């Protein structure tokens, strides 16, 4: 040992000894124990799941809200918001009868179908004419006809009962295999049909958490994801107790690979990228993420929920796109939604793994339940066999040719809109739209004003925050003749009005989005959101019998 190190060691030793001269053994023990406990406490406090700044902020707001005058103010605001949300919901539905108890006598099918038509006419947006972003991905009549027939025949099936409905299981297996082949998997590639993109993502996160726990003994699992990744990953983190490390994006709205690399630790159970992401429609550098996964031996999930059923057909449709699937050796799973650009009715998505060893950790198995040995592949126990059959039928109705054509239509329309919007000087496009989403911002005026004016013209776009932006997700419904031009012209007409007075603040409903962003206490925004969800379950006052 070098002599200076030895000297300082001796110095520390004698300093400690001097400090404890004359102390009784119990005092030394008590002092040691409390020092250790304090160190552990400080360590846990500093290195908690949530950054220290967020926790301090949260605690601060928690105590501020205990001040009676502030608490009363918040409660009265919350009451107002609640009433507002309820009024909004009831104003849309009030002219219809509410069923609040089971009708004594059966309704006839004519009566029921009449009510269904009434209910369907409630929304004020013309999604069939292509005025709504995303949401409805096709109006294809062949698909509608066949799915109606197929659902009618399979609505009571349940693949949980494999012995009763082996044919539904075959259909599910075929959907998975076809999708695995489309994403260039091999004989080890496997997967499941889930109820939607969120469930597919939940399943991947669950599988990787349990895989890391079993294989590497990871007890404090973390996932490393771009800040632009879908909120389903936060949902997975909340459900499965994962820590989310959110990685910022570069100026081109792709995840910063260097920051992602730095965030990887011995607790990382998964890294992920979007192909593309929901907010901006930009594609992360999946090849680089795949390489990180290989280098650190960590599973890589590609969220292709939105774009998967476009990217796999884009090359053939004449729009070359980067490889984002199992051809990249680090990619271990892909989520791809059949109920988006797979054009099936809502209720299915596919989760794929490069290896069965991951899928095994997705399953839940209980071996000692009195009801028998119980194993199920996904979140649900019983599952809608009808949804699987309808998904299967849609895929076969379109065939590869149908998908390539639909993809060409969607991408052509998106590029057309993008090109014309880029020519307008007062707005800009975020990054490079990879598939079908175009996000719009402005440095000249408040972009939510444009959303508001388009709304008045019947458009329903999506609003983004941090920074303020709006986006359109182009579906096959927008590929109908005239829709793209109508969109571009409505934007131009709105801008003529807006630019007469560019400084004017946002007004009306759209102002809420701006305000929501500027509230520093995010728990209030959370409470508002909970009130909003409550309002979905609105029934008129007095409808409870007790
Ligand atoms: C829609 C979407 C999801 C989640 O899918 P759901 O089917 O709505 O649950 C996940 N990721 C992206 C990028 C999406 O656009």
pLDDT tens readout for residues 172-182: 999 999 999 99
Question: For ligand 1, atom 8, which residue shows the shortest CA distance?
Answer: 197
Q: What is the pLDDT of residue 3?
A: 58
Q: What is the pLDDT of residues 7-30, one digit of tens each?
A: 778 888 888 888 888 888 888 899
Pairing of strands 300-303, 331-336: parallel
Rounded to an integer, the average pLDDT of 82-88 is: 85
Ligand 1 pocket, mutate which of 133, 196, 197, 434 (most atoms under 8 A from CB): 197
| Rounded distance from Cα 117 to ligand 1 centre (Å) | 28
Rounded to an integer, the average pLDDT of 314-328 is: 98
Exposed e or buried b per residue across 137-157, where buried means at least 16 C-beta atoms within 10 angstroms of its C-beta: bbbbeebeebbeebbeebeeb
What atom of ligand 1 comes closest to residue 230's alpha carbon? 11
Q: Tell me the DSSP string of 377-389.
A: SSS-SS--HHHHH
Q: Decide: 344 and 147 in contact? Cβ < 8 Å.
A: yes
Q: Strand, helix or coil at 20? A: coil
Q: Decide: 383 and 215 in contact? Cβ < 8 Å.
A: no
Q: What is the pLDDT of residue 49?
A: 65
Ligand 1 pocket, mutate which of 198, 227, 435, 437 (most atoms under 8 A from CB): 198
**pLDDT: is 522 or 385 the higher one?**
385
Averaged pLDDT score across all residues of the chain: 94
Q: What is the pLDDT of residue 347?
A: 97
Question: In whole angstroms, what separates CA 341 from the centre of its chain?
Answer: 16
In this model, does residue 496 exceed pLDDT 80? Answer: yes
According to DSSP, the residues that pair with 441 across neighbouring strands are 428
The kind and range of the H/E element at 224 are strand 222-226
Residue 104 confidence class, pLDDT cut points 50, 70, 90: very high
Q: What is the pLDDT of residue 328?
A: 98
In this model, does residue 4 exceed pLDDT 80? Answer: no
Give percent of the chain with pLDDT exceeding 70. Answer: 99
Question: In whole angstroms, what separates CA 113 from the centre of its chain?
Answer: 34
Q: Decide: 330 and 292 in contact? Cβ < 8 Å.
A: yes
| Rounded distance from Cα 99 to ligand 1 centre (Å) | 32
Q: What are phi and psi of 280, to 5 degrees?
A: -110, -10
Query: Who contacts 343 (Cβ-Cβ below 8 Å, separation ≥6)?
Result: 137, 138, 140, 143, 309, 394, 398, 406, 476
> Is the four-CA dihedral 50, 51, 54, 59 of positive or negative sign?
positive
Q: What is the pLDDT of residue 348?
A: 98
Residue 385 confidence class, pLDDT cut points 50, 70, 90: very high
Residue 256 confidence class, pLDDT cut points 50, 70, 90: very high
Q: What is the pLDDT of residues 170-220, one digit of tens each?
A: 999 999 999 999 999 999 999 999 999 999 999 999 999 999 999 999 999
Rounded to an integer, the average pLDDT of 488-501 is: 97
Give the separation between CA 310 and CA 413, rounded to whole angstroms: 13
Ligand 1 pocket, mutate which of 194, 228, 230 (most atoms under 8 A from CB): 230
For helices 483-498 and 385-422, give the axis angle rounded to 10 degrees: 50
Query: Who contacts 491 (Cβ-Cβ below 8 Å, separation ≥6)?
Result: 421, 424, 427, 450, 454
Give the separation between CA 4 and CA 154, rounded to whole angstroms: 81
Q: What is the pLDDT of residue 397?
A: 98
Q: What is the pLDDT of residue 76?
A: 87
What atom of ligand 1 comes closest to residue 274's alpha carbon? 13
User: Which residue stretches of 155-219 are H helix?
Assistant: 166-182, 197-216
Q: For residue 222, which of 259, 264, 191, 282 has the smallest C-alpha distance?
A: 264
In this model, does residue 330 exceed pLDDT 80? Answer: yes
In this model, does residue 228 exceed pLDDT 80? Answer: yes
Give percent of the chain with pLDDT exceeding 90. Answer: 77
Query: Who contacts 265 (Cβ-Cβ below 8 Å, separation ≥6)?
Result: 222
């Amino acid at each position: 040992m070098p002599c200076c190190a030895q000297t300082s060691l001796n110095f520390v030793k004698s300093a400690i000894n001097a400090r404890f001269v004359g102390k009784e053994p119990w005092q030394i023990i008590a002092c040691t124990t409390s020092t250790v406990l304090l160190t552990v406490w400080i360590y846990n406090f500093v290195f908690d799941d949530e950054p220290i700044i967020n926790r301090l902020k949260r605690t601060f707001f928690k105590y501020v809200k205990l001040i009676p005058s502030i608490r009363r103010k918040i409660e009265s605001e919350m009451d107002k918001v609640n009433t507002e949300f309820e009024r909004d919901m009831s104003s849309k539905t009030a002219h219809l009868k509410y069923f609040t108890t089971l009708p004594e006598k059966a309704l006839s099918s004519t009566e029921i179908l009449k009510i269904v038509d009434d209910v369907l006419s409630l929304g004020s947006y013309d999604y069939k004419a292509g005025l709504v972003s995303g949401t409805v991905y096709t109006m294809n009549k062949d698909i509608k006809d066949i799915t109606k027939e197929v659902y009618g025949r399979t609505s009571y099936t349940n693949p949980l009962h494999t012995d009763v409905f082996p044919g539904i299981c075959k259909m599910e297996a075929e959907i998975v295999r076809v999708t695995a082949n489309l994403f260039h998997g091999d004989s080890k590639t496997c997967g499941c049909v889930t109820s939607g993109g969120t469930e597919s993502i939940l399943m991947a996160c669950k599988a990787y958490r349990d895989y890391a726990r079993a294989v590497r003994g990871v007890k404090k699992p973390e996932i490393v994801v771009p800040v632009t990744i879908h909120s389903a990953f936060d949902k997975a983190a909340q459900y499965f107790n994962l820590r989310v490390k959110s990685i910022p994006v570069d100026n081109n709205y792709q995840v910063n690979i260097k920051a992602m690399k730095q965030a990887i630790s011995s607790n990382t159970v998964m890294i992920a990228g979007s192909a593309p992401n929901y907010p901006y429609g930009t594609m992360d550098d999946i090849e680089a993420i795949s390489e990180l996964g290989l280098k650190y031996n960590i599973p890589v999930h590609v969220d292709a929920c939105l774009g998967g059923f476009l990217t796999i057909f884009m090359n053939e449709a004449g729009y070359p796109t980067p490889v984002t699937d199992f051809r990249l050796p680090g990619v271990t799973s892909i989520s791809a939604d059949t109920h988006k650009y797979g054009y099936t009715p809502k209720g299915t998505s596919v989760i794929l793994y490069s290896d069965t060893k991951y899928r095994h950790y997705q399953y839940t198995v209980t071996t000692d339940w009195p009801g028998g040995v119980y194993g199920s592949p996904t979140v649900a126990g019983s599952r809608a066999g009808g949804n699987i059959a309808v998904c299967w039928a849609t895929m076969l109705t379109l065939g590869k040719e149908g998908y390539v054509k639909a993809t060409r239509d969607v991408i052509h329309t998106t590029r057309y809109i993008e090109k014309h919007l880029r020519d307008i000087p007062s707005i800009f496009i975020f990054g490079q739209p990879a598939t079908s989403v175009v996000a719009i911002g402005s440095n000249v005026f408040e972009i939510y004003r444009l959303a508001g004016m388009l709304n008045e013209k019947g458009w329903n776009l999506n609003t983004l925050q941090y920074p303020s932006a709006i986006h359109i997700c182009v579906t096959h419904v927008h590929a109908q003749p005239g829709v793209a031009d109508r969109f571009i012209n409505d934007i131009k007409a709105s801008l003529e009005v807006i630019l007469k007075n560019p400084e004017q603040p946002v007004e009306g409903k759209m102002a809420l989005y701006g305000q929501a962003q500027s509230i520093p206490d995010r728990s209030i925004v959370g409470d508002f959101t909970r009130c909003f969800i409550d309002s979905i379950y609105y029934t008129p006052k007095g409808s409870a019998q007790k």
